[in-house]
Amino acid sequence: MAVEATKQNDEAEIQRLLDNGIRALHDRNIEGVMSMYAQEVVTFDIVPPLRHIGADALRKLWEEVFSVYQGPIYYEIHDLNITVGDDVAFIHSLNRTQGTRPISGCVGPPAFVRSTASG
């Protein structure tokens, strides 16, 4: 029973981390966004370079995302699956990003990406 309670607590903590990250992205808070990542993070993305190694590289990517949109950035996580083990956790989901483009002032089409993370 204690193991199951620990896993539920871990899942809830992961969900809080994701919720805080979404709020930080919406508010264009780079420090809040970066708080979700380890210094040695490696990500694969839809924009070149496709592989980003380390928190500094990922920070640059998020700063570029911020420059693409004016005002709040909307980010939704769909079909979230959290798997918690004794010393590792994995998540995967389908994520949707959308915001207002500065040149046109119009809301751009949504971008969808599949996300997988472990920690």
* pLDDT exceeds 90 at position 94: yes
State how many domains the chain has.
Answer: 1
Whole-number Å distance between alpha carbons of 39 and 37: 7
* Confidence grade of residue 25 (pLDDT, cut at 50, 70, 90): very high
Question: How crowded is the C-beta side of 32, counted as CA atoms within 13 Å?
Answer: 14
Q: What is the pLDDT of residue 1?
A: 60
The verdict on pTM exceeding 0.75 is yes
Closest to 115 measured CA to CA, from 23, 37, 44, 41: 44
Check if the beta carbon of residue 89 is closer than 8 Å to that of residue 10: yes
Q: Residue 93: give its domain's CATH number.
A: 3.10.450.50
Query: Residue 96's domain spans which residues?
Result: 2-118
Q: How many other CB atoms are found less than 10 A from the CB of residue 32?
A: 16
- Dump pLDDT digits (tens) for 36-83: 999 999 999 877 889 999 999 999 999 998 998 899 999 999 999 999
